Structure 1
Amino acid sequence: MSSPTGSTALSVTQINKQAGDLLGQVFGMVEVVGEISEHKRAASGHHYFALKDDRSQLRCAFFRGNAQRCAHPLREGEEVVATGRLGIYTERGAYQLIVQSIAPAGEGRLAAEFERLKQRLLTEGMFAPEHKRATPALPRHIAVISSDTGAAIHDVRVTLARRFPLARVTLFPVRVQGSESAGELREAVSQLTGDVFDVALIVRGGGSLSDLWSFNDETLVRALYDCPVPVISGVGHETDTTLCDLVADRRAATPTGAAELATPITTSDMRQQVRRWADLGRMRWQGRLQAESQRLDGLTRRLDRGGPVEQLRFGRYRLAALNSPLRHGIERRVAHGRERAHGLRRRLEGAHPRRRLEGLREQLVGPASRLHRSLAAVTAVERERITTFSRRLLVSRERLIPRWRARLDVARLDPRDFERRLNAERTRLAGLSRQLEALGPRQVQQRGYALIETRGERRGDGSGVLIKRAAEVERLGGATGRLPLTIRFVDGDVAVEWTRPPPSQSSSSA
């Protein structure tokens, strides 16, 4: 409608939409800290609630798509940090925050405190590589600092028993979460002595930053730095990092990984080494036996040349007595080894995949032939069906052509009736053209508005890209810091150029 002065008034919907767009442009993406209240989940999956503090509140809408990607559940009365854009609900004219993500309020403060402690301890050199100590290859006594319940200590015990059961394991049970956890961890570290333990593990399962905060305690970190025993840290999962991980001599991604680092040589490795030593001893003994045999042969020759016949006969008997059991023993070992090798070869041939493939191939011959015969029969039936259908189509075509030719002769249009319809459509087209011109952008420009287009990028019709949001100027000109623009008024165009403002300015300038 028009006012007495001739200006065009805005509807309620238009003013609400423009106000919502203005809020989004002015504030952009914002983070709001508050307590969740009046939380409601609609049947569509959208969440509606209010963020409040001790003096005011802000209505929020958390739509289903963003809510499904949020790992943190919404709890009534919990303090959170909501990230989103400000807008106006058009139907009610209500001011609200369109939430995109939600995180617990405490996590942000803990992350900042973690970075502060990390930088200060890093400056002191507590994480320097030259202070890292090597862990023993064969630990005799392993200390484990962890909770006596849960999956972490179970995984460590199972891994140590499997890899190196010869090592003695002592558990220092502590709480790994809560206000008293850091003190118990420090007390356990203070009990580690180098004359009793060879290596120490400090482990726990994964969790949030607040759950793992006890392992970021500064006094605990300094106690680990001064610990006389090499320490391996296995706190959390692979993505979790604590100050204990950084100060420890070695860091593992999981508690199981820490147990593996503490036992680099397993009992299986030791068995293989013993076998290698036995083979080496056997080879040396055989070499020494051959040398002694040659030496006996030399003594025999010396007896032949200069000793009595009885002494020579006695020496030969003694040599035979020493040589015969050894030869028989070697022959028995060789025969036993051959029999074992033959048995293993027979087992290997019986379990060879080729035999199983041959059996499976024989099982597939029958179904394949049946499938081939079925396909041939189905193909023949379908071919006969297509032939019959083609004949029917030809017969139907011959019947329908005369009938439709007669209908077309009856349905020919009268020229005068066609002229009347054409005039009516022309009148309707003229009315639609007048409506389109009234709703076009030129009528809007005559009311005092202008269009902003780019001068560098062109569309298919030769015009520039229309700018609808301030963020589009920053996106198109962000790479070079400048963007040529054209402001189109109703009576002409004005060429301008946007340049990136200095850091001290808060808004774009043309």
Structure 2
Amino acid sequence: MTDDAELAASEEKAEPALSVSAAMGLAKGALESIVVRLVGEVSELNDKPGYKAVYFTVKDEKASLPCMMWMSRYQAAGVQLAVGALVEMTGRFSLYAAKGRMNFDVFSVTLAGEGQLRLQVANLARELEAMGLMAPERKRPLPAYPQVIGIVTSPRGSVIHDMLRTLRRRYPLAKVLFAGVPVDGPGAADAMVDGLAKVVFAGAEMVLLGRGGGSFEDLMPFNDRRLARTIAACPVPVVTGIGHETDTTIADMVSDVRASTPTAAAEAVAPAREETDGRLVALGRSLHRAEERRLDGAARALERIEALSLFREPMRLFDAEALTLDDLSDRLSRSLPAMLREDRHALSLLGAGLARMLPGLLTAPRGAVDADAGRLALRGSSLVERFDAAVADGHRRLRGAGERLPERFAAALSVNAARLHDLSPLTVLARGYAIARGEGNAVVRSVAQTPPGSALTVTVADGEIDCTVNDTRRIEVAVEDWKEDR
């Protein structure tokens, strides 16, 4: 017999066997004497109206614990429990004997660490969802071939390099606008809001918002209310790639497209080069076929037009007009002589009638004309007499003014006449000088203009002398000497 068996046999002899109720009571007393403080994440919650207690379950990586908290204690704690919240509790273990089930009787509960943050995020998510910012019908489709792509992320780290490398590999035609901002820490949310506004203002057709992985606290800037409302109100689609596959933030929920990673976000907005090449080839083929059909249709239409009699015999267009013109010309040639004869006869009749009527017409007003002529002659003589004195006076004053007018300019005229006389070439010639002119009547100013044998015309005071040059001599006279001689 083993030691364990011997010990069990001795105990059976020493203590009588307990009933189930007694054993459960013994366990209940032992458990309720243990008061502990523990931390766990709420995984289940049953808080129905009318219950006397709140029932929930907390867990960690390896175990779970059912909990119960009386409603009076729960309301006094002022904590709103929710699935996913991290809580810190004080209580004791309790055993419900009727069911053989152990509970943790909670005395007090508070939110702890990340659980509080998760609760805040959950409350914000419900608020934004109620506002319709997460509705699927609000999300906009991405442009198939964007020309300008904006990126808002940290300038440090591998995220920006992975995004740029992916865009360069898949869609090198796009222009990238980059706003480098902090993605964690205080002020990160405001910086991302500012970065979104800047790339959109610069002309981005869509925006990538991303960062690498991190803890829940590291991702809290992406759970900011202002950032979420900015993403929802952004005039262009926003694609988020935040953290890893399991990370989901408020920014992901309100964005137009949520990608699992930053690299996946870049792939979502950039079509693959092979896909683009294939689409271009397909479009080229479709365009080729469409142009072939269009050209074939145009050729057939041209053939039908060419087959029309209008283009084979264009003069047939004017058949009716030509016949009408010939008929009218023939009728006009027949009717003109008769019409001229009729007009000539009517004109002769009018001439004869006018010749008979004119003498009588002129005789009637002749007496009136003579009377008017007499009256006009009498009135004209009186009019002339009325203005004779005024005319004579004006004539006299005009003559006097005319006689005095030359006196005002006589002195100036004499001075100008004297100056003109002094400057006249004839006055110079009268003093004994002469003017020599050579070929073309040009004035000779140098012996170089008159080589021997050339003809000259010399003008003196009373005439001209025709000469022939026999010889020339150059006279070197200094200008200063000439001035002294003068």
Report the TM-score range of the alignment, normalised by the length of the smaller protein.
0.3 to 0.5
TM-score, with length taken from structure 2:
0.40
* Structure of greater Rg: 2
